[in-house]
Structure 1
Amino acid sequence: MSRTIKNLIPAFIAVVLFFLNCSGPDIAGGGTIETTNGVVGVIRNSDNTPSSNTVVKLYPENYDPVSNTSDSILSDTTDTAGTYRFHRVASGRYVVLARNNHSSTSLILRDINATDSIITRAPEGTMNHSGSIAFTNLSGEDVSGWYLYIPGTDIYSRVNNDGSAELNDVPPGTFSTIMLAFNSNAKRNVLRQELTLSVGDTATVELPLWQYSRTLRLNTTPAGANISGTVTFFPVLIRLNSSNFDFSQSRLSGNDLVFTGKNGKSLPCQIERWDAAAKRAELWVNVDTIFGNDSTQSITMYWGNSSATAEKNIVFDTAAGYQGVWHFEGTSDDPVKDATINQFDGDAPDSVRPRSGEGIIGNCRIFDGISNYLTMPNSAYGKLNIPQNRNYTVSAWAYLDTLDNQSHCVVSKGIEQYYIRSTYSSDTPVWEFVEYNSTVGVVAPTSPVVPRKWVFLVGVRQGNKQYLYCNGEAVDSITAAPPASTGSSLNDLFIGRFSKGLPVPANDGFSYFKGSIDEIRIMNIARNPDWIRLCYMNQRSDDRLVVFK
């Protein structure tokens, strides 16, 4: 008899173990019943040992920790083998979230598909130290009641008044969805692309409400813009077209475009032209630092936010030396706007107004060489009135139609102050940057003229030294004697002719310009060779600085 009982003991233990595995506590509703479905899995530590005494929760895939109730959450604690079990799981897709407070580790497993009839075995997971995900510039609006959350988890954060938020205690891994809830009904995914959170790290998401982004490399190596020094507060020209930008993704006026630099810092941006129908645009972005001989530095462009409003940004800041900047955007009937706060806007009588046309950068003005010109009223005694032998820079893009043995003025602050023109020296056509000097008369470094080609002209005055650059290269320089008296500052700024007839070296008259003029700048600082070369390499038609990635 005792032998028979002894033989029945193993069978009895097997039956008990079978029922223990097939039935158990109903965590969500209480009671103990036989089950035919559920979710089971095993969790290990990073050293491959079982992760015991770890709290594991099973969330519906779309669970919102703020608006949803906890009735749908199942919970278990792993045994010594690192095993967890959930019974009587309703059909659907779930997320497993595990945390061990003792080791400060966690994990997340997605795409757990439970059915009515089978036990679903979840993939084996490994616990690692949690991290966090920070968000910046969520909105400039009222963010009352806004919150971010990871669907299928208890992870969420309220949005701060400054538009920032941070999700903490986030398991490492790759995330494709993080939801922003504006209210109980309005929600949207704020990830433009998959985000990978490394073990114990903090990931940052910039401008999450903007749907699209692209990295723009600024290449200053010999294969790119080819400068060696560092340039600061530089207005980078960005040209958009159908090959590098989908205009249908942005607002009609481009007002949703935002640029950021290092550490997510927003960069001032100014749109010169936005023509969505023709799929072309030109923008200026003020980058605080561009390093020489560097191909890794970059800025980021964001777009695709229908609720964004245009911000007033100053790219050409007077504090950075810009005293007058004219892009020549708009039509022939539009005044020529000054892009600085000085507002030296230019215009001319209707009968002599130059027409608008395609320039080297967006639109330009086309001068007929007979009567066309522009003038900036009330500029004689303003910021453009730069005394002799001071530091300043004058730059312009010019396209001279023909060589006709005539002098042609590009930009002039009177014939007795400073100007850039084309003229003839010993029967050779040359570009000339002139500062009137009361002791020696005209001080003018020169460079040969090539007609029917765009040329980037830069005149630099640095104390008693004067330089002329053509297409980014220094072509001539002069050292002048100190003046005995000052020149005349009675004249406003003119573009396309002089304010009055020029008597030297011959009677050249008003010297009307025949051709196209674009992007004139006057600065009260002497720009260095790297800055001048970077302007040319960036603004030329085959931009060598900006690389779209």
Structure 2
Amino acid sequence: MPAVMKHLLLPFFFFCLPTDARVQQTAQWPWFCEIRLDTTPSGANVSGDVSNYPLAVQLSANIFDFSKARANGADIRFSTTPGGPFLPHSIEWWDPVNKKALVWVKVPLIKGNTVQQVIYMHWGNENAQAEDHSTEVFPVQEGFTGVWHLNEPGNTLPDGYKDATANAAHATGVNMRPVCTVDGPLGKAQQFHYEDAQWIKIDNEKRKLFDLTNQLTFSIWAIADSYSNKGDENKRVLPGYETMFAKGDNSWRLQKFGIRNWHQPEAELIEICVERLSPRGDLCVVGRTDMKTQQWYHITGVHDYPYVKLYVNGVLDKTEKFDTEWKTDDHPVGIGNQSQFPEKGGRNWDGVLDEARVIGQAKDEHWIKLDYESQRPGSRLLWFGKTQQRK
């Protein structure tokens, strides 16, 4: 699917609606279509079921007639049956001029290895009110601790990068600028320039939400423009370490590990780590994938005590067993830099990052595979049927 723009500020009055507000009559929505989910090997190739999944639905002119919907997408709805009720959804971006949109939809169950599952999209109700249910799409009750779509214009405003969960663990840009907003796999993403030491941090009391160790899933989309960290002996900065997503240097973290010629065969390898309580030290998994520049990767770390697992593009890359007590630290969460020693510099990312997530559960291989396959450019999961008019 094509990359699309995202981010739409929607009114929040709907939080006052009764809990059955989504039980509405689809008869008031004149247009609908079927969206078939293909999890067979010829589609997304997800072999197992996935429950309570936030599904990315990307729309473009070749699959959706924007002229038949309201200008801000207020009338868009989804359901698992033709007559409803409607599923929770959240519009990130609705751009009728360029005919692109991104909507997250909470699907109760996505079945593995089938082409028989269908959901329905409805639109065209001129009286429909805008709704946004991001806290239901990414519910804290199901482990979502922080979700940053990174779709905002680049900024350094306090809490300028919004968390989509009810935790409201909003992030603040460091040296970020409006030109940092670029296209990503899921609409807009953030460009980080190494020489400008740009990064995004989740600080203040909210950072304690991420003191997670034994059960944890964290993920991000990343592309490197270059690997620019040449090291600095005076600052005791080792070369080749560039951070994508981390909570300090003594907790969970995801980074590029070392310089290319450290490895045989030579490669830019990915590293995820946890910290050992006693004796204190790093417990790291160094993957096998050569993370080449100018190429997108979806990277997921899973802590499922005593195992630490690294997934790259939906596939298990490396697992290690660390049968000792793990710890965390009190440092901010960093996107594009490791926050424990930011004054040293050196570990900043040079490239683009998108869709950073932290979940306080150990997600399985089916969830992680579906994340990659449903979000990646050229996804083969969703197949849109013909637009139909309700009679």
The answer on whether the counterparts of 2:275 and 2:327 sit within 8 Å (CA) in structure 1 is: yes
Q: 1:514 to 1:379 in 2, by over 3 A?
A: farther
Choose from 125, 128, 136 the match for 1:308. 128
- Aligned-pair distance for 1:543? 1.3
Name the structure 1 match of 2:210: 384
Q: Is the 2:53–2:109 contact (alpha carbons within 8 Å) kept by the matching residues of 1?
A: yes
Q: Deviations over 1:371-391 (max 9, x none)?
A: 1011112256532111x3x11
1:495 to 325, 335, 354: 335
Counterpart-to-counterpart distance in 1, 2:80 and 2:372: 22
Residues 414-453 of structure 1: matches in 2 within 5 Å? 414-424=248-258, 426-427=262-263, 428-438=267-277, 439=279, 441-447=281-287, 448-453=290-295
> Which residues in structure 2 correspond to 1:137-286 (within 5 Å)?
206-262=25-81, 264-286=84-106
Tell me the residue number matched to 1:293: 113
- Partner in structure 2 of residue 394 of structure 1: 218
Q: Residue 327 in 1 paired to residue 149 in 2?
A: yes
TM-score, with length taken from structure 2: 0.82
Contact 1:381 1:489 in 2 (8 A): no
2:355 aligned partner: 519
Per the alignment, do residues 489 and 163 of structure 1 end up closer, same or farther by CA in structure 2, a change over 3 Å counting?
Answer: closer
Deviations 1:16-43 (A, max 9, x none): xxxxxxxxxxxxxxxxxxxxxxxxxxxx
Match of 2:389 in 1: none
Structure 2 CA distance for partners of 1:379 and 1:248, relative to 1, 3 Å = farther
Report the 3-state secondary structure (helix = DSSP H, G, I; strand = E; otherwise coil) of the residue aligned with 1:375: strand
- Secondary structure of the equivalent of 1:266? coil
Instruction: Assess, with a 3 A threshold, how the Cα gap between structure 1 residues 527 and 379 changes in structure 2: closer, same or farther.
Output: farther
C-alpha distance 489-296 of structure 1, shift in aligned 2 (>3 A): same
Greater radius of gyration (CA) = 1
Quick check: 1:354–1:373 contact (8 Å CA) kept in 2? no
**Structure 1 CA distance for aligned equivalents of residues 36 and 211 of structure 2:** 38
Cα distance in 2, alignment partners of residues 270 and 355 from structure 1: 24
Letter aligned with residue 200 of structure 2: L
Q: CA deviation at 1:481?
A: 2.7
Instruction: State how far apart, in whole Å, the 2-side matches of 1:534 and 1:303 are.
Output: 26
In 2, are the aligned partners of 1:420 and 1:433 still within 8 Å (CA)?
yes
Alpha-carbon separation, structure 2, partners of 1:351 and 1:329: 13
Structure 2 unmatched ranges of 5 or more: 1-13, 15-19, 229-238, 386-391
Q: Does 2:363 align with 1:363?
A: no
What percent identity do the matched residue pairs reach?
A: 28
Please tell me the residue identity of whatever aligns with 1:521: R
CA distance in 2: counterparts of 1:536 and 1:368, whole angstroms: 25
Q: Tell me, in whole angstroms, the C-alpha distance in 1 between the residues paired with 2:349 and 2:366.
A: 29
Instruction: State how far apart, in whole Å, the 2-side matches of 1:379 and 1:430 are.
Output: 33
Which digits, 9 at most, give the CA deviation of each residue in 1:337-372, with x for residues without a partner? 101010111112456787111111000000001310
The answer on whether the counterparts of 2:176 and 2:199 sit within 8 Å (CA) in structure 1 is no
- What's the CA shift for 1:214? 0.7
How many correspondences in the alignment? 342
Q: Which has the higher contact order (CA 8 A, sep 6+)?
A: 2
Deviation at residue 491 of structure 1 after TM alignment:
0.8
8 Å CA contact 1:256, 1:309 repeated in 2:
yes
Change (3 A) 1:412 1:248: same
Q: Which of 231, 240, 244 is the aligned partner of 1:406?
A: 240
Going from structure 1 to structure 2, the CA distance change for 1:529 and 1:351 (only over 3 Å counts) comes to closer
Q: Is the 8 A contact 1:237 1:283 kept in 2?
A: yes
Alpha-carbon distance in 1 for matches of 2:100, 2:116:
27
Q: Is the 8 A contact 1:379 1:493 kept in 2?
A: no
The secondary structure found in structure 2 opposite 1:239 is: strand
How many angstroms apart in 2 are the aligned matches of 1:226 and 1:237?
Answer: 17
Q: Deviations over 1:299-343 (max 9, x none)?
A: 100011111112231211111211000111232237211010101
Pairing 1:338–2:338 present: no
CA distance, structure 2, for counterparts of residue 347 and residue 325 of structure 1: 14
Contact 2:93 2:101 in 1 (8 A): yes
Instruction: Indicate how the Cα distance of structure 1 residues 473 and 264 shifts in structure 2: closer, same or farther if over 3 A, else same.
Output: same
Distance 1:274 1:295 in 2: 28
Structure 1: runs of 5+ lacking an equivalent: 1-139, 141-160, 165-204
SS at match of 2:27: coil
Greater strand fraction, Structure 1 or Structure 2: 1
> What SS does structure 1 have at the residue aligned with 2:348?
coil
1:466 Cα offset (Å): 0.5
Aligned 8 A contact 2:169 2:206 in 1 = no
TM-score, structure 1 as length reference: 0.59
Give the distance between the partners of 2:21 and 2:252, measured in 1 at CA.
48
Runs of 4+ in 1 over 4 A off after TM superposition: 161-164, 349-354, 507-510
- For 2:269 and 2:174, how far apart are their aligned partners in 1? 30
Shift in Å, 1:488: 4.6
Q: Deviations over 1:115-137 (max 9, x none)?
A: xxxxxxxxxxxxxxxxxxxxxxx
Larger proportion of helix: 2
Letter in 2 for 1:475: D
> Cα offset for 1:241?
0.5
